[in-house]
Amino acid sequence: MKRFLRPENASYGHLRVRVQVFALALAAGLSLAAAPVEARLLHVVALGDSLTAGYGLPPGEAFPDVLQRALKAHGWDVEVANAGVSGETAADGLARYDWSVPAGTDALIVELGANDMLRGMDPTAAEAALAQILDKARAAHVATLLAGMRAPANLGPDYQKRFDAIYPDLAKNYGVALYPFFLDGVAGDPTLNQKDGLHPTRAGMEKIVAAILPSVEGVLAEVKP
């Protein structure tokens, strides 16, 4: 004799299947919701002079190269472009800003002004050029780190005071991050500088990057995913 499934059992069977399907769909949805968002590659430009360009250093040891390696070691998916040109003043950097900092740049490191100071140029001119660079970066919504420079005492107290004030004043006025002195811990140390006493050795560059790294990471954290 054939056994026939009672209607109520049939309804229960269909209900159980529906519950199982719903549970599987819910679990799949939760898994998708919990999946981390894949981080995108961040594009950073280091706009500067010979200190950025890597004067006197072997290939792969310039500031942008060493910084990129350090950032990747800290888990950042980043590409740091070397937009450093030896001998340039702040005005020179401004003149080539539009092609040195292309559309799609996420973060900018500005390291300019050392040559203005070494030539004894009026600090007002350097400040004006740097201000225009910051204007351009702000208009393009590029997170910016301003790397400062300091004048030596032999240029006189008045010049030293005027020049050294450029960077904190600009950082405050534009609301950008400031790294007060790019050569902090390296300037004046013969063991960390090349024979000219101005440009860092490989060891000096490693020290510069180690010191500035937290400031760079702070700026990268401002970049929208």
225 in any annotated domain: no
101 in any annotated domain: yes
pLDDT of residue 18: 47
186 in any annotated domain: yes
Q: What are the structure tokens assigned to 205, written together? A: 């560059």
Please check whether residues 165 and 75 belong to one and the same domain. Answer: yes
Please check whether residues 113 and 194 belong to one and the same domain. Answer: yes
**pLDDT tens sequence across 45-83:** 999 999 999 999 999 999 999 999 999 999 999 999 999
Please check whether residues 132 and 115 belong to one and the same domain. Answer: yes
Q: What are the structure tokens assigned to 145, written together? A: 């780190």
Please check whether residues 94 and 25 belong to one and the same domain. Answer: no
Mean pLDDT by 10 residues, the chain (225 residues): 44 45 46 49 98 98 98 98 98 98 98 98 98 98 98 96 98 98 97 97 98 98 90
Q: Answer for the pair 143, 219: CB distance below 8 angstroms, yes or no.
A: yes
Please check whether residues 93 and 49 belong to one and the same domain. Answer: yes
pLDDT of residue 191: 97
Please check whether residues 18 and 53 belong to one and the same domain. Answer: no
Please check whether residues 63 and 21 belong to one and the same domain. Answer: no
pLDDT of residue 129: 98
Q: What is the CATH number of the domain that holds 141?
A: 3.40.50.1110
The contacts of residue 162 (CB under 8 Å, 6+ apart) are 123, 124
Please check whether residues 76 and 141 belong to one and the same domain. Answer: yes
Distance between CA atoms of 47 and 51, rounded to whole angstroms?
10
Active site residues: 50, 196, 199
Provide the number of structural domains found in the chain.
2
pLDDT of residue 38: 52
Please check whether residues 97 and 11 belong to one and the same domain. Answer: no
Range of the domain at 53: 42-220
Please check whether residues 215 and 113 belong to one and the same domain. Answer: yes
Please check whether residues 97 and 144 belong to one and the same domain. Answer: yes
63 in any annotated domain: yes
Length of the chain counted residue by residue: 225
Helix H or strand E segment including 108: strand 107-111
Q: Name the residue with tokens 């006197």.
A: 56
pLDDT of residue 225: 80
